[in-house]
Amino acid sequence: MIKIYHNPRCSKSRQGVAILENSGREFEIIKYLDTVPTTKELTDIIKLLNISPIELVRKNEKIWKEEFKGKELSDSEIIEAMVNNPKLIERPIVINNDKAIVGRPPENISSII
């Protein structure tokens, strides 16, 4: 089943949900600010995305700038920062079986559904 890691306050994330709704496919919405992915889940998502953890970080978030910017962090420390501060996770993330994509721009989602 298709999953979307969604933040309802984000316009790009809302557009991602709309793309999935219009596709007619069944999907699950995970509001990741309410149901924060575990360290293992986030690590698995990053592997599916085939990116490094830093590439999933929203670097313009205030918490990143104040607490993490400019520090030498390991991949595991970056993942822990996102688990402890889920606002740092880029969105939306769509997973379809063994494929995943960050929906920025939202049109990217069409490539995996």
- Which residues participate in catalysis according to the annotation? 10
Closest of 51, 34, 54, 45 to residue 98, by C-alpha: 45
Handedness of CA 60, 65, 67, 70 (dihedral sign): positive
Strand pairing of 2-6 and 27-31?
parallel
- Judged by DSSP in three states, 89 sits in strand
Phi, psi (deg, nearest 5) at residue 68: -125, -25
